[in-house]
Amino acid sequence: MFSRDFLENYFELKANGTTVKTEVIAGLTTFMTMAYILVVNPLILKDAGMDFGAVFTATALSAIIGTLIMAVWAKLPFALAPGMGLNAFFAYGVVLGMGYSWQMALTAVFLEGIIFLVLTAFNVREAIVNSIPLSLKKAVSCGIGLFIAFIGLQNAGIVEANPATLVSVGELTNPKPMLAMIGILVTGLLLVKKVRGALLIGIIATTLIGFPLGVTSMPDFSNGLTPPDISPILFQFQWEHVFTTDMAIILFTFLFVDMFDTVGTLVGVSTKANMLTEKGEVPNCKQALFADAVATTAGACLGTSTVTTFVESATGVSEGGRTGLTALVVAGLFLVALFLSPLFLMVPGAATTPALVLVGLFMLSPIKEIDLDDYSESIPAFLTLLFMPLTYSIAEGIIVGILAYIVLKVLSGNYRQVSVASFIVGILCLAKIVM
């Protein structure tokens, strides 16, 4: 479809120190680690009363829209899809918890997208990204590393819930955790041997090893290759509850969590990839935030919960992805998945665990650049990276880190080191805690 020369020139591959091959491998890796959303998102929204097949199609289409914008406009190696956590709040908080219809929840997501478009156009979201101190940006990268490693261990059953201690080690002799542990060793060995594409090869190898263990199943194409009908959830909005207190609370929660999840991912992964500008800013940040806003608005029209930048994008960056070509590959694979979904969905969660865990290690490297002897910098940074995995939320980690940073700087007499924008963001963070 596109010539190699066109891709080289459009994405400035040479200037970014990458190649077409590297970007394709990075895109494949990112997609493989986030393809689970094609099943998990419909399963969660099904509990809210939505049609599983229709949500599957909406999930893929919204991911394609957001990731394409990220690829061709922002030219960054990040992928988007309906976000975990936000879909749970949609189903279990708004619909099952507060008793509203899923149509009303979709209306809230649509309004969120519109508000994000306005805030992005007026550079408000970009100002929030730039207001985060450099030490916290590095801590966000480390926190995301711990967070996605924890997600990987949880997906494989290596870590499981425990009523006494919250979490504990799972039964490692069961097939699923055993497969994940084998995969970590196989992928780790590939990394030690400096094999190119180690993470992707590790996912494929672990999937194949899963067959004799009974974890991986053969793909089922019995329902054909036609994507499920999306009409049951298309443009299903409900406007009668728009001007209510409940809607305001729901909208604020969607806005706040999505904003800081996206900000955290953009900052953390860009930091790890050494993509930040000399001023410590995310390149093409405004365009990246527009991708998120447009995809959320379009996703609501299609019939799915809030679309956000996926933390699993870190796996592609770790494979060398540096430009929008990585994202373009991911978007293409989501399109293929619409028609060949059984082939992609045969990859078990345990097979992606090695990539997520080892990328967690890669994401820790910026911790070396944090001044641990300056406690006004290191304490907020530590709280940021600690709270992300322990609260299962990128947003909560950023909130705690920013508030700790402001308080320590002010009380130690170094308030001049805190920008006006940081103070404003701190007030928003405090408002989120109070609400």
Q: Torsion over CA of 158, 47, 42 and 66, rounded to 10 degrees?
A: -100
Q: Residue 34: which of 344, 395, 304 has the closest Cα?
A: 344
State the amino acid at position 395 in one-letter form: A
> How far is residue 380's CA from residue 418's CA, in Å, rounded to a whole number?
13
Give the pLDDT band of residue 1 (cuts 50, 70, 90).
low
Query: Could you read off the pLDDT of 87-101 as tens digits, one per residue?
Result: 878 888 788 888 889
User: In 3D, which of 394, 398, 401 has the Cα closest to residue 145?
Assistant: 394
Instruction: Write out the H or E segment, with its range, that includes residue 262.
Output: helix 245-272
Question: Does pTM surpass 0.85?
Answer: no
| Domain boundaries along the sequence of the chain | 4-218+241-434
Residue among 358, 356, 364, 389 nearest 34 (CA): 356
* pLDDT tens figures, 156-173: 999 999 999 999 999 999
The yes-or-no verdict on residue 187 having pLDDT over 80 is yes
Q: pLDDT, tens digit, for every residue of 23-68?
A: 999 999 999 888 888 888 888 898 899 998 899 999 999 999 999 9
More confident residue, 62 or 201: 62
Compute the distance between CA of residue 326 and CA of residue 195 in angstroms, rounded to an integer: 19
* Location of structure tokens 């594409």: 197
Q: In whole angstroms, how far apart are CA 40 and each of 143, 155, 323?
A: 24, 12, 28
- The pLDDT of residue 183 is 95
